[in-house]
Amino acid sequence: MTTTEQTDTQAILAVLDEVHAAIAAGDAERALAAGAPDTVAFTLAPPLVQPSGSPGEAVAGLAEWIASFAAPPRLAHREPTVHVDGDVAFVHTLTSMSGVKGGEFTLWFRSTYGLRRVDGRWLIVHQHESVPFHMDGSFRAAVELAP
């Protein structure tokens, strides 16, 4: 890996760490500042595609979700893999979310991020999260899985 690739990888992982730190601090506006205005988000929560709406609506929606926990949830990546090509990058990782909501829990899920360098700054332009489901016909989310 070249020095430039190492620098870009560190900067990209710092963006994801900042989002997680902002959510843990209960700061929805700060968490969303890591994303481009036209970010496409396929998150765990319905609907299938998060509506882009206005920035204020996005902040309010994330703030409401964070507030639905006894304390802000904590997120962490496990062994993220970063692919960088010029001003575009992708990251895939397993992510854990821990918190208290109807009881204490830790949930593992899959995350993929697409980032673009804009004016020298890496911004999230695409986010995809998913939980596998049982293929036994029950279609239950497989929330008991852990790496």
CA angle 130, 110, 119 (to 5 degrees): 100
Q: How confident is the model at residue 120 (pLDDT cuts 50, 70, 90)?
A: very high
Separation of CA 97 from chain center: 10
Contact 51, 120 (CB under 8 A): no
CA 116 to chain centre: 15
Which residue's entry shows tokens 């760490």? 17
What pLDDT, in 10s, does the model give residues 17-73? 999 999 999 999 999 999 998 899 999 988 888 877 678 888 998 999 999 999 999
Domains by residue range for the chain, with CATH: 3-130 (3.10.450.50)
Lookup: tokens for 79: 């062994």
Cβ-contact 114, 84 below 8 angstroms: no
H or E element at residue 77 = strand 74-85
d(CA 53, CA 57): 6
State percent of the chain over pLDDT 70: 99
Mean pLDDT of the chain: 94
- The separation between CA 40 and the C-alpha centre of its own chain, rounded to angstroms, equals 12
Q: What is the pTM of this model?
A: 0.92
Q: Strand 121-130 and strand 35-42: pairing?
A: parallel
Burial (CB count <10 Å: 0-12, 13-18, 19+), residue 92: middle
Over residues 118-137, the mean pLDDT reads: 96
